[in-house]
Amino acid sequence: QPELGKPMRNCYSLPGPDFTYGMYMHKRDGGVPEGHWDAVKAKAHPRKRVMPRDFVAMGRAAVDEGCTTAREFALYYGYMDIRCKDKGILRYGGKAPPGMTFGKPPRPPTPFFDLMQHRYKELWMEEQRARTRVQHVVKKKVGTMGEVRENRTTFLRTHPLPVKEESFWHLQRFEKVQGPQSPSPD
């Protein structure tokens, strides 16, 4: 039953002062004062991973050498052993080859002086003016020649299609057939 005038407690009572929380580890408890130091021992020799064979590269090299038959390919595969390259060679403590750098090279710095003088705007305006001049010259050349571009209409005016000759032959079923002669009313 809850105490009168107090909220109902919904938790458990804590254990006494002699209770130890967590897990007891006999090796680590005590540490250096007890006379031992926890140190991780290095492995004697790390096992080198053997990468699978790179059959695509071996096949390409075999073709370059002039192999054409299956037997020649099998002999070449037995002679040459090309392995896949380890993509994760620099993970887990591998050393980078000398002269290798990581990341993207930085772009050259923008000269601040050119920004202040609006140099890039001027270069762009020059390009636009040059483009306009070229377009104007090309338009003038097309206009001065006086030639009209040839399209279908002008082509048909200069080269008319041959006239079809009318054929007088028709299928019999499309011929007008006169019906039976009826006697004329005389």
Mean pLDDT of the chain: 77
Mean pLDDT across the stretch 176-182? 62
Radius of gyration over every alpha carbon of the chain, rounded to an integer in angstroms: 48
Q: How far apart are CA 114 and CA 120, in angstroms?
A: 7
Q: Given a cut of 80, is residue 9 above it in pLDDT? A: no
| Identity of the residue numbered 26 | H
- Tens digits of residue pLDDT in 133-165: 999 888 887 665 566 678 888 888 888 888 888
Q: How would you classify residue 146: left for phi > 0, otherwise alpha for psi between -120 and 50, otherwise beta?
A: left
Per the domain annotation, does 88 fall within a domain? no
Between 66 and 177, name the one with better pLDDT: 66
Mean pLDDT across the stretch 21-30? 63
Per the domain annotation, does 133 fall within a domain? yes
Mean pLDDT is lowest, of 4-8, 21-25, 104-108, 179-183, for 179-183
Per the domain annotation, does 127 fall within a domain? yes
Per the domain annotation, does 37 fall within a domain? no
Residue finishing a domain among 82, 102, 122: 82
Mean pLDDT across the stretch 43-48? 67
Torsion angles phi and psi, residue 115, rounded to 5: -65, -40
- Tens digits of residue pLDDT in 59-100: 999 999 999 899 999 999 998 888 888 776 555 556 666 777
pLDDT given for residue 180 in this prediction: 62
Beta-carbon-side half-sphere exposure of residue 36 (alpha carbons within 13 Å)? 8
Q: Which of helix, strand or coil describes residue 53? A: strand
Per the domain annotation, does 5 fall within a domain? no
pLDDT given for residue 121 in this prediction: 92
Query: Which helix (H) or strand (E) segment is 60 a member of?
Result: helix 55-65
Per the domain annotation, does 57 fall within a domain? yes
Per the domain annotation, does 56 fall within a domain? yes
Between 173 and 65, name the one with better pLDDT: 65
pLDDT given for residue 39 in this prediction: 64
Q: How many domains does the chain have?
A: 2
Closest by CA to 77, choosing from 61, 92, 91, is 61
pLDDT given for residue 112 in this prediction: 83
Contact in structure between 38 and 28 (CB atoms under 8 Å):
yes
Closest by CA to 100, choosing from 108, 89, 92, is 89
Domain that holds residue 71: 51-82
Per the domain annotation, does 131 fall within a domain? yes
- Tens digits of residue pLDDT in 93-132: 566 667 777 777 778 888 888 888 888 999 999 999 999 9
Q: Calculate ∠ Cα 120-124-126, nearest 5°.
A: 115
